[in-house]
Chains A and B, each alone.
Chain A
Amino acid sequence: MHFLENLPLATKKFILDLVKGACGWLCTKLGIALPPWAMPLLLTLVSILVVIVAIIAVYMVMFALMSVAERKILARMQNRYGPNRAGWFGILQPVADGIKMLTKEDLVPRGADKIVHFLAPIAMVAPALMLPAIIPYGTGMVPVELSAGILYFFALGAGTELAVFMAGWSSNNKYSVMGAMRAIAQMISYELPLVMSAVIAALVAGTLSPTGIVEAQGGYSLGFIPNWFVFTPWGFVACLLFYIGALAESNRCPFDLPEGESELVAGHLTEYSGFKYAIFFMAEYVGMFAINGLLVTLFLGGYKAPCPFLEWIPSWCWFFAKLALLAFSMVWVRATLPRFRIDQMMQFAWKFMLPMSFAALIAAAVWYYAGRGPLAWGLSALIVGIPYLALGHFCFTRHHTADNRRYLYSE
Chain B
Amino acid sequence: MNLPGSGILKGMAVTAVNFIGSFLDRAHAKRLITEQYPEERPTLVETSRSFPFLVFDGDPEKGIRCTACKICEKECPPQCIFIVKDKDANGKPILRPQIFDIDISVCMGCQICVEVCPFESIRMDNIYEVSAYDRFETLVLHKEQLLKSNVYYRQIHPTEAAQTDARIEAARVKKAAAAKAAAEKAAAAKAAAAAKAAETQPEPTA
Contact = CB atoms under 8 A, between A and B. Distances in A.
A54 interface: no
Interface string A381-400: 00000001101110011000
Secondary structure call for the B interface: helix
B12 A73 contact: no
Interface stretch (A39-47, A128-136, A276-284, A330-338): A330-338
Given A335-B15, A336-B12, A81 B32 contact: yes
Contacts, number: 47
Nearest to A390: B4
B5 A392 contact: yes
Interface residues of B, number: 20
A148 interface: no
**Which 4 A-B pairs give the minimum distances between C-beta atoms?**
A392-B4, A77-B15, A79-B31, A336-B11
Contacts of B36: 81
Contacts of A73: 19
Interface in B10-56: 11-12, 14-16, 18-19, 21-23, 31-34, 36
Interface of B: 1, 3-5, 8, 11-12, 14-16, 18-19, 21-23, 31-34, 36
Contact of A336 (B5, B15, B32): B15
Contacts of B5: 392
Given A333-B12, A335-B15, A76 B34 contact: no
A61 to B, nearest CB: 24
Given A336-B12, A337-B11, A76 B4 contact: no
A393 B1 contact: yes
Contacts of A80: 32, 34
A336 B14 contact: yes
A11 interface: no
Contacts of A397: 4
A79 B22 contact: yes
A78 interface: yes
Contacts of B33: 79
Interface residues of A, number: 19
Interface centre among A76, A392, A397 (most CB of B within 10 A): A76
Contacts of A391: 4
Contacts of B1: 393
A78 B8 CA distance: 17
Interface centre among B3, B4, B14 (most CB of A within 10 A): B4
A76 B28 CA distance: 12
Nearest to B22: A76
A336 B12 CA distance: 6
B18 A78 contact: yes
Contacts of B21: 79
A335 B18 CA distance: 10
B19 A77 contact: yes
Nearest to B17: A77
Contacts of A392: 3-5
Contacts of A78: 18
10 contacts: A77-B15, A77-B22, A79-B21, A81-B34, A332-B16, A332-B19, A333-B12, A337-B8, A389-B4, A396-B4
